[in-house]
Amino acid sequence: MTENGLISLAEVYKDYFKIGAAVTVNDLVRLHGELLKKHFNSLTAENAMKFGEIHPSEDRFDFEKADKMMEFAKSNHLKMRGHTFVWHNQTSDWIFLDTNGKEASKELVIDRLRKHVEVICNRYKDIVYTWDVVNEAIEDKTGEQYRDTKWRRILGEDYIKTVFEIVKEQDDKAELVYNDYNNEQPEKLEKTYRMLEEMLHKGAPIDSVGIQAHWSIRDSNLMDDLKRAIERYASLGLKIQVTEMDVSMFEFEDKRKDILEPTTEMLYLQEQAYHNIFSVFREYKELVTSVTFWGISDRYTWKDNFPVRGRKDWPMLFDMKGEKKSSFEKIVDFI
């Protein structure tokens, strides 16, 4: 086991917000298991609770991985974020098809979704304190408000409200979240704001906005954008959760594949980014209820395959050996 000193990240932030990590079952043991127990008090299943994984066919659920996470969380006094009910990716096709293989009716899809949510909520609601109810529903392209998805096509314009109501019926204690990426950037922020304002006006039980926070070391307007976004969403009476944070060494447009280890400059920019971002989170601690990283250490991150397949990235607070990086020191140096 790597020595990580006495400081626990979750402990340092206990009066601010929960500190979470996205996990696979392999992360529950050995080095990552130890880091989870020491530094985190919240877990998100990186994939195991997505519709397609946990409910692969109408009459079959696969709880194995999610149950292991729940057991780990229970034995180590962590809570969980439920991720995610309605998304355009990693969703089983069966839910959208009727018995003749044609597109299912609205009534049928709602009925199936309700059953799905009921089963998942009943099984996990003791440990899950918050659900990502709808994920990534806003369109990135200028001019269009909503992403065109099967969910929206079948359930209709107000489907976001419908889905929040369905989850609320099954779990009225959890914080219910609308989650998206780039929703701190001005244009997507305004689209998201308009959607949330409308849904809240119509009575949708939305508690919070999830800012995924898949960022990079060179995001130039990030601090201003982030503050503005937190304030705009808060003006609707909503809380904020940071749901999937990582700080990539590469900007999205940067498709280089020849960098085999992080340069000194990269590590420096990353520690500055983490430092600045966490100062903002702390400044808004009354509004921010959790900060979750999309992984644990640089040993394994989805960024190794996104947006460039097979290119190593180093976006986390712990390095390839599981040791604290200078970025870690920067976010605990305020005490």
Positions in the binding site for ligand XIL (CB under 6 A) = 46-47, 135, 212, 244, 302
Q: Is the distance from CB of 46 to CB of 23 less than 8 angstroms? A: yes
The conformation of residue 105, written as its DSSP 8-state character, comes to P
What span, in angstroms and rounded, lies between the C-alpha atoms of 2 and 31? 7
Q: Is the distance from CB of 94 to CB of 67 less than 8 angstroms? A: no
Q: How far is the CB of 303 from ligand XIL (least distance, A)?
A: 9
Tokens read off for 205: 């039980």
Query: CB within 8 A of 308, min separation 6: which ones?
Result: 250, 255, 257
Residue nearest to ligand XIL (CB): 302
- By beta-carbon proximity to ligand XIL, the closer residue of 46 and 171 is 46
Catalytic center residues: 136, 244
Which residue, chain included where needed, has tokens 């009921």?
118
CB atoms within 10 A of CB 313: 22
**293 phi/psi in degrees, rounded to 5:** -90, 145
- By beta-carbon proximity to ligand XIL, the closer residue of 83 and 330 is 83
Q: How far is the CB of 46 from ligand XIL (least distance, A)?
A: 5
Tokens read off for 125: 């609601």
- By beta-carbon proximity to ligand XIL, the closer residue of 247 and 267 is 247
Q: How far is the CB of 134 from ligand XIL (least distance, A)?
A: 11
Rounded to the nearest 5 degrees, what angle is found at the Cα of 278, between the Cα atoms of 272 and 282? 145
- By beta-carbon proximity to ligand XIL, the closer residue of 89 and 105 is 89
CB atoms within 10 A of CB 309: 8
Sign of dihedral through CA atoms 118, 123, 124, 125? Answer: positive
Please compute, for residue 40, the number of CA atoms within 13 A of its CA located in the half-sphere on the CB side.
30
Sign of dihedral through CA atoms 186, 191, 194, 197? Answer: negative
* DSSP string of 39-104, one letter each residue: H-SEEEESSTTSHHHH-SBTTB---HHHHHHHHHHHHTT-EEEEEEEE-SSS--GGGGB-TTSSBP
- By beta-carbon proximity to ligand XIL, the closer residue of 28 and 104 is 28
